[in-house]
Amino acid sequence: MGQVSSSCDVYAAAFCLIHLITGVPPYEMESHVFRILFEEHLPKSIPESLILLLQATTDPKLSLRLSDLAEIRYLMSEIRSNPSQVPRSLAKRKRERAYQENDTEGHSLKALSFYDLSDDTVAKKFSGHEEKIIFLALIIFALGFILFSFLYLLLFYR
């Protein structure tokens, strides 16, 4: 998260295309774990291969995002020539993405939020407890402030 690279341009161009196809701006679409769920807005006539290409170019994880323009151009020409057949590299990416969305025990990690996706171990450990953690952090901060104020009064106003 927060890294600027050529894949950011690919991401933006993909969402411009999604906006043109659906007529719905990405900010109005539902999102989940930093991923905008555009698939439900696409017309039924869009082939699966194009949907997979759009998913590969809009993946929130840079390691999974397709960003090589030559490969994208090649995949688009393959999709244009045979829309019903999913190119192998896109099928492989779909499997890798499905594997990374599940932990080793097969539990889905789609419920993650609030944490940087680059640190999956933290996200696995604390998923679903964000509100509790924030609340505890605020309580600790408040207690620290009260303690500091009490000590300040004791030391300087005797």
Q: What are the extents of the domains in the chain?
A: 6-115, 128-158
d(CA 15, CA 19): 6
The residue among 93 and 30 whose pLDDT is bigger is 30
What pLDDT score was predicted for residue 104? Answer: 43
What pLDDT score was predicted for residue 101? Answer: 60
125 pLDDT band, cuts 50/70/90, is: low
Cα→Cα distances 108→44, 103, 127, Å: 27, 7, 11
Q: Are 67 and 5 in contact (CB under 8 A)?
A: yes
Percent of the chain residues topping a pLDDT of 70 = 75
Q: Are 10 and 66 in contact (CB under 8 A)?
A: yes
- pLDDT at residue 155 above 80? yes
Region 126-152: mean pLDDT is 79
**Tens-place pLDDT, residues 81-118:** 888 888 877 777 777 766 666 544 444 444 443 333 44
- pLDDT at residue 127 above 60? no
What average pLDDT does the chain have?
A: 76
